[in-house]
Amino acid sequence: QNYVRETFKLFQHARPGEWRWLKEDISYTDNKITVVHVEHFSSRGPHIPNWLGINKHDRSRFGDMAISSVQHALGISL
């Protein structure tokens, strides 16, 4: 997930401010915007069900973190 860390650095450069990670390697914020990285889904296959946790898969934790990050950005607690 190096691209996520590199993108974080780009946001820090392009939008100076107090950036912080919400979920390591998934999401970050400057308290004005929240950036959430999601899985690159192929049109077929198990990627979507794996990431969303429909299938029991290691990648499901990333989907859970992304959902939690969006809820945080919207001020939603479930």
Q: Global pTM?
A: 0.80
| DSSP strand pairing (20-23 vs 27-29) | antiparallel
For residues 61 and 41, the model is more confident at 61
Residue with tokens 């989907």: 63
Give the C-alpha separation, 64 to 45, whole Å: 20
Mean pLDDT of 8-13: 96
Residues 12 and 46: beta-carbon distance below 8 Å: no
For the chain, where are the E strands, in sequence order? 20-23, 27-29, 34-36
* Distance from the Cα of residue 26 to its chain's centroid: 3
